[in-house]
Amino acid sequence: MKRILILWIPLIIIAACKDQVETTSPVRENITESVYASGILRSKNQYQVFSTVNGLLQKVYVDEGDTIKKGTPLFSILNETSTLYRENAQLAADLADFRSNQNKLEELKLNIDLAKSKLVNDSLLMVRQQNLWSQNLGSKNEVERAELNFKNAKTAYSSARLRYADEKRRLDIVSKQAQKNLQISIKNEGDFTITSNISGRIYSLLKEQGEMVNTQTPLAVIGDATDFILELQVDEYDITAIKPGQEIKVTMDSYKGEVFDAIVSKVNPILNERSKTALVEAAFVKQPPSLYPNLTLEANILLKVKENVLTLPRQYIYKDQFVITASGDTLSIKTGIKDYLKAEILEGITEKDVLILPIL
């Protein structure tokens, strides 16, 4: 094996006493290439509750830590105007209700019946006068008067029917409009009672009863009571290597000394312009017994595993390409995959070489 000696005196200071220098030798073992990421925990479906209207926070129906179901009332906002609008819409709807205006239609039906009766009667009179005139009885004026009365009665009957149809259609439209306005008023009044969009837990209440609220400020934080998502920030240099399904090793300050397994579930397709990181979501394989939103964590996303390769602690490697032997020689090496503690050695040294820790 070819070894390259490089003078490195300005950069490396070797301790005079060998007993005081840390030494090591490469070993054969498995190594895993991984990508480091930091992040936080989020409750599944976690969201901030906002009011859709401005007003006074009249009532808070829940406490922090409560487990709730979808549709549970959370807050009520005081706004007397909306109540008055709803009551006014109710009165208008009752007044315009189609069934409440049947008497108007009954009156028009009577007019139709009267016009029809007169039409039948004038028709008989006209026929009688025409028959008499054909027998040279009566007068021409009487025949013409009977015919005119029949035409007028026919017109009156048609008009009565049209008035009935128009009024029926008008009442139907007015009734439906009034009901729609009532529904809108009820919906608007319902906006003053804020309910939960999910079944879960109240993690934080951000406003107290009696405070003024608006549509811009959140009132609470709600999320799933049991399921949590790991939100990891991955550097832009590493993000192209991350795929759903990859294994993750997770550590948390709240569980010191423990390592948890997780799986990449989603890689968000946009990069944060400021931090130059991409958001990666993951889920625990076996979730820790007690978790809280916003717990910090560190993770190593596993990319590949190589078995029975030569490895060396990364602290013994300078600039990813140099090592120092116990005799003081500086050697050039070639590295392969790395984890956060060690690196794969492809060439330059063997298991027999004794190396010392560089002192910069």
272 three-class SS: coil
Does residue 347 contact residue 335 with C-beta atoms inside 8 Å? no
* Radius of gyration of the CA atoms of the chain, in A: 44
Distance CA 247, CA 314 (A): 23
pLDDT one-digit tens code per residue, 202-211: 999 999 998 9
Q: What is the pLDDT of residue 216?
A: 93
Does 3 score more than 50 pLDDT? Answer: no
Distance in angstroms (rounded) separating the CA atoms of residues 128 and 52 = 76
Q: Which of 129, 152, 124, 131 is nearest to 141 (CA)?
A: 129
Higher model confidence: residue 188 or residue 260? 260
Mean pLDDT for 279-298 is 94
Nearest one of 75, 33, 32 to 50, comparing CA atoms: 75
Q: What is the pLDDT of residue 188?
A: 62
The three-class DSSP label of residue 346 is strand
Whether pLDDT at 196 is above 70: yes
- pLDDT tens, position by position, 64-102: 999 999 999 999 887 655 565 556 656 666 666 656 667
Q: Tell me how crowded residue 110 is: count the other CB atoms within 10 A of its CB.
A: 11
Q: How confident is the model at residue 5 (pLDDT cuts 50, 70, 90)?
A: very low
Instruction: Label residue 109 by pLDDT band (50, 70, 90).
Output: confident
DSSP 36-48: EEEEEEEETT-EE
- pLDDT tens digits, 112-143: 889 888 888 988 888 888 888 888 887 888 88
User: What band does 179 get if pLDDT is binned at 50, 70 and 90?
Assistant: confident
Report pLDDT digits (tens) over 301-332: 999 888 999 999 999 999 889 999 998 899 99
Q: Residue 219: how many CB atoms within 10 A of its CB?
A: 21
SS3 245: coil
Residue 66 tokens read as 């409560």
Local structure of 268: helix, strand or coil: strand
Supply the pLDDT for residue 126: 86
Beta-carbon contacts of 17 under 8 Å, excluding residues fewer than 6 positions away, are none
Residue 141, phi then psi, degrees to nearest 5: -60, -40
Copy the structure tokens of residue 120: 């039948």
Q: How does the average pLDDT of the chain come out, rounded?
A: 84
201 burial (CB, 10 Å; 0-12 / 13-18 / 19+) is buried
Q: Is the pTM of this model over 0.75?
A: no
Coil, strand or helix: which one is 88?
A: helix
Residue 16 pLDDT: 40
pLDDT tens for residues 201-247? 999 999 999 899 998 999 999 999 999 999 999 999 999 999 999 99
Lowest pLDDT segment from 56-70, 87-101, 263-277: 87-101
197, pLDDT greater than 70:
yes
Average pLDDT in the 176-193 region?
70
Is the model's pLDDT at 17 over the cut of 80?
A: no
